[in-house]
């Protein structure tokens, strides 16, 4: 019983990461940037910890494998939108980053409807995309805080360089997903005919 309970720790951490979206977004809306930065740092660290624990404890689950990338996308998407509303992040960056996720989600739903099964497995370029988004969010939050010298350097690194990295990785990883899953759909279709 105890080992089964312990094996759920990575999933609990992932669920907590999803729940952290609400207070983090609220802190941003209320201009409580230091608190938002701390919550974002905890959420970012939890992303590494839950996967590491799942592998270490041999408790990788289908639920965790599905929820983990979804938790990242919820966190990043909500914070991108809030920062755009606050005028900190340009709309074109948000449109590309969030638009990529909607295209992938729509494609995954269509694939599932057509073929009844889909395996969630983020690619290396997709992981780089998510890591860059989280890093740029942390830079933006650092830039909003009043930390001497650090905030100015964070602002300079995120705008425009970080924005362009996020956009380029979003486009490249989005095209990679569409091409990969398009080929799989064609193959699956041919196997059924």
Q: What is the CATH number of the domain that holds 98?
A: 1.20.120.1760
pLDDT (average), residues 62-87: 87
pLDDT (average), residues 72-101: 94
**Alpha-carbon distances, residue 143 vs 14, 38, 117, 120, 139 (angstroms):** 27, 13, 43, 34, 6
**Alpha-carbon distances, residue 98 vs 25, 125, 135 (angstroms):** 16, 16, 16
Assign 44 a pLDDT band (cuts: 50, 70, 90): confident
The maximal CA–CA distance of the chain, rounded, in angstroms, is 65
pLDDT at 29: 94
Assign 63 a pLDDT band (cuts: 50, 70, 90): confident
86 vs 192, which has greater pLDDT? 86
Structural domain of 137: 2-192
The share of the chain scoring above pLDDT 70, in percent, equals 97
Which tens digit of pLDDT belongs to each residue from 122-165?
889 998 999 899 999 999 999 999 888 888 899 888 888 999 99
Q: What's this model's pTM, rounded to 2 decimal places?
A: 0.85
pLDDT at 164: 96
pLDDT at 95: 96
**Alpha-carbon distances, residue 80 vs 49, 58, 68, 174, 185 (angstroms):** 23, 34, 18, 17, 31
Out of 76-90, 107-121, 162-176, least confident range: 107-121
Which tens digit of pLDDT belongs to each residue from 6-42?
677 888 888 999 999 999 999 999 999 999 999 988 9
pLDDT over threshold 70, residue 2: no
100 vs 155, which has greater pLDDT? 100
**How high is the mean pLDDT of the chain?**
87
Instruction: State how many domains the chain has.
Output: 1
């Amino acid at each position: 019983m105890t080992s089964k309970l312990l094996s759920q720790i990575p999933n609990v951490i992932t669920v907590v990461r999803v729940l952290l979206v609400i207070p983090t977004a609220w802190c941003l809306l209320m201009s409580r940037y230091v608190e938002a930065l701390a919550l974002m740092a905890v959420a970012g660290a939890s992303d590494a910890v839950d996967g590491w624990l799942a592998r270490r404890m041999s408790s990788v689950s289908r639920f965790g494998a599905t929820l983990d990338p979804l938790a990242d996308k919820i966190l990043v998407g909500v914070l991108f939108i809030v920062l755009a509303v606050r005028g900190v992040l340009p709309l074109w960056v948000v449109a590309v980053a969030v638009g990529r996720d909607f295209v992938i989600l729509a494609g995954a739903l269509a694939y599932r409807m057509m073929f009844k099964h889909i395996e969630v497995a983020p690619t290396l370029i997709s992981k780089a995309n998510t890591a860059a988004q989280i890093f740029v969010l942390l830079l933006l939050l650092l830039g909003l805080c009043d930390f001497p010298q650090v905030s100015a350097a964070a602002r300079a690194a995120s705008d425009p360089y970080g924005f362009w990295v996020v956009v380029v990785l979003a486009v490249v990883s989005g095209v990679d997903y569409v091409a990969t899953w398009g080929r799989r759909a064609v193959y699956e279709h041919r196997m059924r005919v």
